Amino acid sequence: MANPIEVLSWVFILSGSIFVIIGGIGLLRLPDFYTRIHAAGITDTLGAWLILLGLMLHEGFSLNAAKLAMLLFFLLATGPLASHALAKAAFLRGLDPLQGRGLVDRHEVDDNA
Amino acid sequence: MTGVFAAATAAIVVCMGLTLIRSIVGPTVFDRILAVNSFGTKTVLLIALIGYLSGRPDFLDLALVYALMNFIGTIAAMKFTRFGDLAGMEDEESEELY
Amino acid sequence: MKHAVALFFLLMSVWLLNSGHYTVLITSFGIASCLLVVWLSRRMGIVDDEALPLHLLPGLPRYLPWIVKEVVKSNLDTSRRILSLGRPDISPRLFDAPTTQHSDLGRVIYANSITLTPGTVSIRVHGTKITVHAIADAVADDLLEGEMDRRVTLLEGETE
């Protein structure tokens, strides 16, 4: 068995992959644009962080680890900005969010009408 | 270790497939841009992971550039769908949401 | 001047970390390009408290761990909602969140923190209110309790 830090980096990378996949599933499964932003947020935050942290642990203390940290910072800085810009653009152009617990039922009503 | 990298790479590729489906079915243009933006984030992770998978961490430089380009690309695509070109400020009221 | 020096050191560290070649010639190119960028930025008048918020540094060690913890928590919560059997367990809601920050920078930090945590997205900032879209009522109520707002105000007001 490898040393504990290596094992920790495996755990991080694999759990990061799981969160990336959950984000992908959410992107397909959620009912409207605004809720899908939340799903994309999972990939952008925890999924990316865990994978990059795992790679940093694997890398140890080196120049490449610093580059990974920079990558982490860029994703941290640009991710929310892009999400916000998209949400604002959609909102200002009149795309109304579905609201309330009965939103799936509203779809069914729409189908009947 | 290679196995872990390979598994993570495979997971990301699968997820990129899911994201592509969303970008194709839409239905609004924002769904598509959101999907493409998310696809870009995954590309960054994929490049980093492939670098380690093939034992060439130099790939990280590409990932860095891609992370920045992805953001600019998203903003540019959004502006383009709004104004029809990247410099002008024409305000068309009758735009297509779908 | 303080900001210009800080900007130079920031740029220089990015340059050094990305370069990996440390000969005299190449490093002097790096120093020259960093000086050029600092000069251009000063000419553009964008080297100030807003572009380089040095006054936030003392508060960061307390804010960052909290926001990371919060992001992890809301990630787990949102994942659970997405993966719930049958239909996704969501009840989306659009609402206005009040803010108590006293500068634009503070509100930007607050809005970005809201967007960073999955489950809430800030849609627009108007005046001192932020329009937020939340994935579920529980998430919205959590935000309206205002702990994040308090912490951002604390971060902003450290040396105000």
C78-123: pLDDT as tens digits:
888 888 877 777 888 888 888 888 888 888 888 888 888 888 888 8
Cross-chain Cβ contact A38/C118 below 8 Å: yes
Q: How far apart are CA A12 and CA B66, in angstroms?
A: 23
> Would you call C83 and A30 a contact, using CB atoms and an 8 Å cutoff?
no
- Dihedral sign for Cα C77, C111, B43, B81, please: positive
The whole-number average pLDDT for the span C13-29 is 87
Is the pLDDT confidence value at C129 over 50?
yes
- pLDDT at B43 (0 to 100): 92
Question: Which residue of A9, A11, A74, A88 is the best one to mutate when testing the B interface, meaning the one whose CB has the most B CBs within 10 A?
Answer: A74
- Asked if pLDDT for residue C160 goes beyond 80, the answer is no
Residue B13 has pLDDT above 90, yes or no: yes
In three-state secondary structure terms, C125 is strand
Q: Which helix (H) or strand (E) holds C39?
A: helix C24-44
Option in A27, A47, A51 nearest B18 (CB): A27
> What's the whole-number mean pLDDT along residues C122-138?
85
* Assigned token pair, A104: 């799936």
Q: Would the CB atoms of A25 and C83 count as touching at under 8 Å?
A: yes
Angle of CA points C9, C11, C15, to nearest 5°: 115
| C-beta separation of C9 from C16 below 8 A | no
Give burial (CB, 10 Å; 0-12/13-18/19+) of C119. Answer: buried
Summarize pLDDT for B34-54 with one digit per residue, the tens: 899 999 999 999 998 898 888
Q: Where are the domains of chain C?
A: 2-44, 58-157
Structure tokens at C117: 């945590």
Which chain B residues are Cβ-neighbours of A51 within 8 angstroms?
Answer: 8, 45, 48-49
Do A16 and A51 form a contact (C-beta atoms < 8 A)?
yes
Interface list for chain C against chain A, based on CB atoms closer than 8 Å: 14, 17-18, 20, 71-72, 75, 78-79, 82-83, 87-88, 90-94, 111-112, 115-124, 131, 133, 135, 137
Tokens of C78: 């949102």
- Which region holds residue C80: left if phi is over 0, alpha if psi is between -120 and 50, else beta? alpha
Rounded Cα distance, C39 and C46, in Å: 11
Partner-chain contact B74 A23, CB within 8 Å: no
Report the pLDDT value the prediction gives residue A108, as an integer from 0 to 100.
37
Q: With contacts defined as CB-CB under 8 Å, which chain A residues touch C21?
A: none
**Average pLDDT, rounded, for chain C:** 85
Does C151 score more than 70 pLDDT? yes
Q: How far is A63 from chain B (nearest CA, A)?
A: 10
Position C75 pLDDT exceeds 70: yes
Q: What is the pLDDT of residue A100?
A: 64
pLDDT confidence of residue B46: 92
Chain A residues close to C131, C-beta within 8 Å: 91
Q: Which of A76, A79, A84 sits opposite C111 (nearest CB)?
A: A84
Can you give the pLDDT at residue C4?
87
What is the per-residue pLDDT for B96?
54
Given CB atoms, is B35 within the 8 Å cutoff of chain A?
A: yes
Check whether the bond before C58 is cis (ω within 30° of 0). Answer: no
| Nearest residue of chain A to residue B43 (CA atoms) | A48
Q: Of C18, C71, C111, which is closest to A45 when you measure between CB atoms?
A: C71
Provide block-wise average pLDDT over 10 residues at a time, chain A (113 residues).
Answer: 81 91 88 86 88 88 86 87 87 74 42 34
Average pLDDT, chain B: 82
Burial C61-92 (b: 16+ CB within 10 A, else e): eebeeebeebbeebbebbbebbeeeeebbbbb
Residue B57 reports pLDDT greater than 60: yes
- Residue B74 confidence (pLDDT): 87
Domain spans in chain B, listed from the N-terminal domain onward: 2-81
Query: How far is C115 from A76, CA to CA, in rounded Å?
Result: 11
> Do β-strands C129-134 and C93-98 pair in parallel, antiparallel, or remain unpaired?
antiparallel
Taking CB atoms and an 8 Å cutoff, what residues of chain A touch C18? 67, 70
At position B10, the amino acid (one-letter code) is A
Residues of B in contact with A17 (CB under 8 A): 7-8, 11-12
In chain C, the percentage of residues whose pLDDT exceeds 90 is 8
Report pLDDT for B59.
86
